[in-house]
Amino acid sequence: MEEVFLKLNNIHKTFDGVHALKGVNLTVNKGEIHCLAGENGCGKSTLIKTISGVHRADEGEITIDGNLMQKYNPIDAIRLGIQVIYQDFAVFPNLTVAENIAMNKALQIGKKRMDWNESRKLALKAMEQIGAKLDPDVLVERISVAHKQMVAICRAILNDAKLLILDEPTTALTAKEVKMLFEVIGTLKSKGIAIVIVTHKIDEIYSIADRLTILRNGANVATGDIKEFDRPSFIQYMTGREIVDTHYRPSELGKEILKIEHLNRKGAFHDVSFSLNEGDVLGITGLLGSGRSEIADALFGIMPADSGKIYLHDKEISINNIGDAIKHKFAYVPEDRLTQGSFLDRSIADNVIAASISAYLKGGRLHYSEMTESAENWIRDIRIVTPSSKPMVRSLSGGNQQKVVIAKWLNTHPALLILNGPTVGVDIGAKADIHKILHQLAATGVGIIIISDDLSELIQNCNKIIVMRSGAVDSMIQSAQTDETRLAALLGGTAKQEVIS
């Protein structure tokens, strides 16, 4: 008989008239890994904050370790062993690893003196428990994201965590780091700690979860053992619609749009040549540092190439700065949409017209009504979920933010659209929408380049894929003639290179 640690019964929560949680039930057993899945905005975050005592439920019961909770607050939650690891880990970059791990405990028991030796000992003990090996005296600003996460986990263990909630823990991790994290989670599970992982990444859920609860629009849609769900039913529960894995395989290609010959940039890439025809969606992949992003930067003039030729519609062009790229109607959706791609505190409309504002300047004044109209058209066409074009981009979910960034560039009517990691942090439904938009664009003759390390995304959405290694084109393949395993082998360098024209 499994022992129940946490039981939520019929939880309701309303914010300013928005019914965020509509009677959610959740049961988490000791020593189990429970995935909480759902698209952005389904109420996952609200639910976590209810469990951690930050939000008070309007209605419903919370039972922890068999005790029904009354007047439940964050301090109670911590005392009862509930620890949340947020996406930004809430670590202090300016303090040492040891201090970060030991500080919360010291604060909790109300210590007045700082004992450096004890902190170090506690930190080493906690790290030993999960098999992490970090120098306790190094500042956290010098360690990688994955290690910061380990610090956050150690801190939670030190606080006698009985239930560990991880909010989208793998977003910023590489595949190898994810594997490490999952090993650590496995260790914690074997110690009888209940674990809730919030995620929308289907592969990860299948590789680690024991049980699964799916939320949609603030309500439970399904819960049960992971074995009871197959992928199609899982996706359908999560999105509320059936999403078919489409493969983009254009039957015939049109005229050549872009041709790159022997492009070089010192220290980034060398002798890169490829071409792109109407209807093509070209994928570029490669390990970090292989030059995959640098090619995009060169094409968009951020870090222009030193030598080589770029032809657009059979005419040679030179791109020395971003202005040149925009002049030739190149568009670039950067990797980090939060810092590079959008004005978070401006409205959707302002963001959508940001790259094409001169088109609305007529006779010395801006035509606001036309701007709003364009924005509203894009909202409709690419299905941005929002009541109007007025809300700040910050208030949108990740997927919708990304759609706004894409709309911004589509509004420039680009000849070439380069997307770097277009669906990182975007949920399945929005991902499918974005892919559909790209396919439609390709069909109308816009050249599309997708840079990504999500191999299944590339195979599904690109008809040609370039694998980069150490700054050079390692192989160029037709997606129809490959699969994920083969592509992964090429990426890792365990398969022989192949080049097709």
Q: How far is the CB of 90 from other proteins (least distance, A)?
A: 4
Please give the Cα distance from 9 to 95 (Å, whole number): 40
R_g of the chain computed on alpha carbons: 25
Q: Which two tokens stand for residue 268?
A: 């980034």
The residue within the footprint of other proteins, chosen from 68, 73, 93, 480 (CB under 8 A), is: 93
Return the residue of 21, 35, 78, 156 that touches other proteins, per CB under 8 A: 78
Q: By rule CB under 8 A, what count of residues binds other proteins?
A: 31
CA distance 244 to 232: 8
Least separation in angstroms between CB 470 and other proteins: 17
- The interface with other proteins within residues 364-393 (CB under 8 A) comprises none
Which of 114, 361, 366, 499 is the binder for other proteins (CB under 8 A)?
A: 114
Based on the shown chain and the rule CB under 8 A, indicate whether residue 289 belongs to the binding site for other proteins.
no
Q: Which of 2, 3, 56, 94 forms a contact with other proteins (CB under 8 A)? A: 94
Residue written as tokens 């949680």?
21
295 belongs to the binding site for other proteins (CB under 8 A): no
Stretch that binds other proteins, among 56-64, 144-152, 206-214, 454-462 (CB under 8 A): 144-152
Residue of the chain from 20, 64, 106, 432 that contacts other proteins (CB under 8 A): 106
> Kind of pairing, strands 59-64 and 67-68?
antiparallel
CA distances from 394 to 128, 345, 494 (A): 40, 6, 42
Rounded distance, CA 423 to CA 30, Å? 34
The burial class, CB within 10 Å (0-12 / 13-18 / 19+), for 222 is: middle
Pick between residue 83 and residue 423 the one whose CB is nearest to other proteins. 83
Give CA angle at 326 (324, 330), nearest 5°.
Answer: 110
| 489 counts as binding other proteins under rule CB under 8 A | no
Q: Is 156 in the site for other proteins (CB under 8 A)?
A: no
Extract the tokens encoding 93.
């970059």
Residues 399, 366 contacting (CB under 8 angstroms): no
Token pair listed for 488:
């992964």
Binding residue for other proteins, selected from 18, 107, 244, 500, defined by CB under 8 A: 107
> Who contacts 101 (Cβ-Cβ below 8 Å, separation ≥6)?
119, 122, 123, 126, 127, 136, 151, 154, 155, 158
Binding mask 21-50 for other proteins (x = CB under 8 A): ------------------------------
| Shortest CB 293 distance to other proteins, Å | 16
Interface positions with other proteins (CB under 8 A): 74-75, 78, 86, 88-95, 99, 103-104, 106-108, 111-114, 116, 135, 138, 141-145, 147
